[in-house]
């Protein structure tokens, strides 16, 4: 009886062991061409454990870190269209939690219905931006992003594994981006397309480390990066309870840099997307809609949510 169990376990595991051995073999062969004998040996000793973790079925393994995407949003003609585009992407991402923060005095019907009908796990928050901050030249969505950070600090603990990402509603996200950021240990970075008056901006990476910024705008910012260009491990958010987006003294375009300064250093950034050579997110921005023909009187006889 014990023996037959032993043999059946053995034959179930055997193909996996073979796959792991083959993968290790291919991996080390490839690196032996590229690398020196020294790094060949160091890879050989570190490779098996990593590959085994990927290939061996392990029912007790912890689930992958949850991705918390924080999306500030506000009422406007294109709001539902933008949120729909995001939801269509996000519902395809496993282990995902969407934190939607409305700039409003209460949760609006439109967004409440939208989230309830969608198939994306979510938390729906709201905070009204004080009137004095609603001016051109003021950074936007500060209160909303901070509300999401406060929610995480109040509802998640040191045992939760997660990665926090600021997913504005006017961008386009590829699915690969989420698998890239999922392994973020501290703060990870990657290129962003169609931003800063360029086809793309990106962190400049040398020998696997971020050393500077390829950007067309204020290159002397400590972290010259767009909101869509970085992710932060949940524990970094919890370990730095005072790290927030600042109102006082903040200028538009400095929000990201001011925030990252509080939680990381340039040399600690983790480059993703093939050492920051791949664009996986685009700052698309929706064209300002023309509502010039909206009737003032004689409106449609039914009320339609757009
Ligand atoms: C499965 O994963 C858990 C948690 O990572 C680990 O403690 C355990 O040793 C693993 N078991 C096997 C058979 O690899
Ligand atoms: C990034 O660069 C480092 C150092 O040059 C290299 O070891 C690593 O394999 C590169 N990563 C990727 C994903 O290309």
Interval 6-10 mean pLDDT: 68
Nearest CA to ligand 2 atom 7: 208
> What percentage of the chain reaches a pLDDT higher than 90?
68
Is the pLDDT reported for residue 217 higher than 60? Answer: yes
Residue 113 is part of a domain; what is its CATH number? 3.90.550.10
Q: How many domains does the chain have?
A: 1
Q: How far is the CA of 168 from the centre of ligand 2 (A)?
A: 29
Tell me which H or E stretch contains 144.
Answer: helix 142-155
- The lowest-confidence range among 21-25, 71-75, 212-216 is 21-25
Residue-wise pLDDT for 234-268, tens only, equals 999 999 999 999 987 667 778 999 999 999 999 99
Residue 95 lies in a domain: yes
Residues 6+ apart with CB under 8 A from 4: none
Helix %, strand %, coil % of the chain (to 5): 40, 20, 40
Higher-confidence residue of 200 and 137: namely 200
Cβ(106) – ligand 1 distance below 6 Å: no
Residue-wise pLDDT for 220-238, tens only, equals 899 999 999 999 999 999 9
Residues 280, 179 contacting (CB under 8 angstroms): no
Residue 41: the pLDDT is: 44
145 is in an annotated binding site: yes
Is the pLDDT reported for residue 18 higher than 90? Answer: no
Nearest CA to ligand 2 atom 8: 208
Residue 179 lies in a domain: yes
Higher-confidence residue of 155 and 20: namely 155
CB atoms within 10 A of CB 61: 9
Spatial distance between the Cα atoms of 98 and 121, rounded to a whole number of angstroms: 6
Q: How far is the CA of 151 from the centre of ligand 2 (A)?
A: 36
Range of the domain at 251: 66-188+227-273
Spatial distance between the Cα atoms of 29 and 1, rounded to a whole number of angstroms: 42
Three-class DSSP category at 204: strand
Nearest CA to ligand 1 atom 6: 61
Max CA distance (Å), the chain: 84
Is the pLDDT reported for residue 37 higher than 70? Answer: no
Q: How far is the CA of 179 from the centre of ligand 2 (A)?
A: 17
Residue 184: the pLDDT is: 98
Higher-confidence residue of 158 and 30: namely 158
Query: How far are the Cα atoms of 4, 68, 210 from residue 176, in angstroms, in the given order?
Result: 43, 16, 21
168 is in an annotated binding site: yes
Is the pLDDT reported for residue 32 higher than 50? Answer: no
Residue 2: the pLDDT is: 56
**Which residue in this structure is represented by tokens 């409106």?**
299
Residue 18 lies in a domain: no
> What percentage of the chain reaches a pLDDT higher than 70?
83
Which residues contact ligand 2 via a Cβ below 6 A? 207-208, 274-275
Which one, of 193, 190, 229, 196, lies nearest residue 210 by Cα? 190
pLDDT band at 43 (very low <50, low <70, confident <90, very high): very low
Residue 210: the pLDDT is: 98
**Cα dihedral sign, 215-217-222-223:** negative
Residue 105 lies in a domain: yes
Residue 7 lies in a domain: no
Residue 40: the pLDDT is: 44
The DSSP call for residue 252 is: T
Maximum average pLDDT range among 6-10, 279-283, 294-298? 279-283
Residue 259 lies in a domain: yes
Residue 34: the pLDDT is: 45
pLDDT band at 1 (very low <50, low <70, confident <90, very high): low
Cα Rg of the chain, angstroms: 23
* pTM reported for the whole predicted model: 0.78
Which residues are known catalytic residues? Answer: 256
Residues 60, 155 contacting (CB under 8 angstroms): no
Residue 93 lies in a domain: yes
Question: Ligand 1 atom closest to Cα of 52?
Answer: 14
Spatial distance between the Cα atoms of 302 and 161, rounded to a whole number of angstroms: 47
Q: Would you list the DSSP string of 293-305?
A: T--SSS--SS---
pLDDT band at 61 (very low <50, low <70, confident <90, very high): confident
Higher-confidence residue of 243 and 218: namely 243
CB atoms within 10 A of CB 76: 13
pLDDT band at 36 (very low <50, low <70, confident <90, very high): very low
Residue 274: the pLDDT is: 98
Residue 13: the pLDDT is: 75
Ligand nearest to the CA of 210: 2
Spatial distance between the Cα atoms of 276 and 281, rounded to a whole number of angstroms: 12
Strand 96-102 versus strand 172-173 pairing type: unpaired
**Which residue in this structure is represented by tokens 């085994």?**
52
Residue 161: the pLDDT is: 97
Residue 59: the pLDDT is: 78
């Amino acid at each position: 009886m014990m023996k037959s169990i032993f043999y059946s376990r053995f034959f179930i595991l055997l193909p996996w062991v073979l796959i792991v051995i083959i993968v290790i073999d291919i991996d080390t062969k490839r690196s032996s061409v590229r690398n020196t004998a020294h790094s060949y040996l160091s890879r050989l000793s570190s490779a098996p454990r990593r590959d085994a973790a990927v290939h061996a079925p392990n029912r007790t393994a912890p689930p992958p870190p949850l991705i918390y995407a924080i999306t500030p949003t506000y009422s406007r003609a294109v709001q539902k269209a933008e949120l729909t585009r995001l939801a269509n992407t996000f519902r395809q991402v496993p282990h995902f939690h969407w934190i939607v923060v409305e700039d409003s005095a209460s949760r609006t019907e439109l967004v409440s219905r939208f989230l309830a009908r969608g198939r994306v796990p979510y938390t729906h928050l709201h905070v009204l931006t004080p009137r004095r901050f609603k001016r051109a030249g003021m950074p936007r969505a500060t209160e909303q992003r901070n509300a999401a950070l406060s929610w995480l600090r109040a509802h998640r603990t040191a045992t939760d594994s997660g990665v926090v990402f600021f997913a504005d509603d006017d961008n386009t996200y590829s699915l690969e981006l989420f698998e890239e950021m999922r392994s973020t240990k501290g703060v990870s970075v990657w290129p962003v397309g169609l931003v800063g008056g360029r086809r793309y901006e990106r962190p400049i990476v040398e020998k696997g480390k971020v050393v500077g910024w390829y950007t067309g705008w204020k290159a002397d910012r400590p972290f010259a990066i767009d909101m869509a260009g970085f992710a932060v491990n949940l524990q970094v958010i919890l370990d730095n309870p005072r790290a927030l987006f600042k109102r006082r003294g903040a200028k538009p375009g400095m929000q990201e840099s001011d925030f990252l300064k509080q939680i990381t250093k340039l040399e600690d950034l983790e480059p993703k997307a093939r050492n920051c050579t791949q664009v996986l997110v685009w700052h698309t921005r929706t064209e300002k809609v023309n509502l010039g023909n909206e009737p003032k009187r004689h409106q449609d006889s039914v009320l339609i949510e757009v």
